[in-house]
Amino acid sequence: MTSSHATAVVHFAALSDPGKSRAHNEDSLLCAPQLALWAVADGMGGHQRGEVASALALQVLREQVEQGASLDVAIAAAHDAIIAAGDTDSASRGMGTTLVAAQLKGCQFTLAWLGDSRAYRISAEQIEQLSSDHSWVQGQVDAGVMSSAEARQHPRRNVITQCLGQAQDAPEPGVLVGELLPGEILLLCSDGLTGELTDEQILQYSATAETLDKLVLQLVKAANQNGGRDNVSC
Ligand code: CA
């Protein structure tokens, strides 16, 4: 599918899969080309409430952006909506979700994220992680006491330090503005992808895929072949 904004033509593809070991898919995807808005959310919470949290976050994000809100304002509203849902339904209390969202304006993108769902910029030759995980292991890497390779294997690698719906204080999303060059790919994904594939593997698939539709299929398939221990979305 394509859509035009200024002189840029945006192609996109999206796929979400439960993976090999989870009964439910708690990830949610948002593709809203009419708003030039795309997002991935990775929900958590008992009794399938992770699915509720990630879907609610993306619904509120979309509504807010439709009304002209910036991504960080929209994310704050999504956070409040998840907390409010928990206040009215005890089974939903404590549910939360990560989120990574991208809004395009011509070749310019604005990213916002919370948690360990990620954004990458990928060209034919290189892959660059644009977001920085709100996770315990990323904190250790930033402090210089752990390498990225150690972080990938660490037993606490799934511990996130910020998400929507669970913080006592308002979350502080990471925000980044940048520009895509022609042919570059902006990849948004949940940790079910990056937990199973290295950045180099993602780059290899991206460099050789014939179309974006085939790329998302190949990425999900490869994550499942490497274990598929979590829901996979990209
Ligand atoms: Ca996940």
| CA 72 to centroid of ligand 1, rounded, Å | 22
| CA 60 to centroid of ligand 1, rounded, Å | 20
Residue 65: in which H helix or E strand, if any? helix 49-66
pLDDT tens-place values along the chain, 234 residues long: 454 444 578 899 999 999 999 999 999 999 999 999 999 999 998 777 999 999 999 999 999 999 999 999 999 999 999 999 988 888 888 899 999 999 999 999 999 999 999 999 999 999 999 999 999 999 999 999 999 999 999 999 999 999 999 866 788 999 999 999 999 999 999 999 999 999 999 999 999 999 999 999 999 999 999 999 999 999
Q: How far apart are CA 176 and CA 41, in angstroms?
A: 18
| CA 6 to centroid of ligand 1, rounded, Å | 35
| CA 179 to centroid of ligand 1, rounded, Å | 28
Identity of residue 199: D
**pLDDT score, position 139:** 95
**pLDDT score, position 5:** 47
To 10 degrees, what angle do helices 212-225 and 199-208 make? 140
| CA 192 to centroid of ligand 1, rounded, Å | 5
Task: Look at residues 159, 190, 223 and name the one whose alpha carbon lies nearest to residue 43.
Answer: 190
**pLDDT score, position 7:** 58
Q: How far apart are CA 19 and CA 189, in angstroms?
A: 14
Q: How far apart are CA 29 and CA 233, in angstroms?
A: 8
| CA 182 to centroid of ligand 1, rounded, Å | 31
pTM of the predicted model as reported, rounded to 2 decimal places: 0.94
If you search the block for the tokens 């009964």, which residue do you land on? 23
| CA 7 to centroid of ligand 1, rounded, Å | 35
| CA 121 to centroid of ligand 1, rounded, Å | 20
| CA 193 to centroid of ligand 1, rounded, Å | 9
Q: CA-CA distances (angstroms) from residue 110 to 8, 104, 228?
A: 15, 6, 30
Helix and strand totals (H; E) in the chain: 7, 12
Rg of the chain in Å (alpha carbons): 17
| CA 31 to centroid of ligand 1, rounded, Å | 19
| CA 158 to centroid of ligand 1, rounded, Å | 8
DSSP state of 133: -
**pLDDT score, position 90:** 85
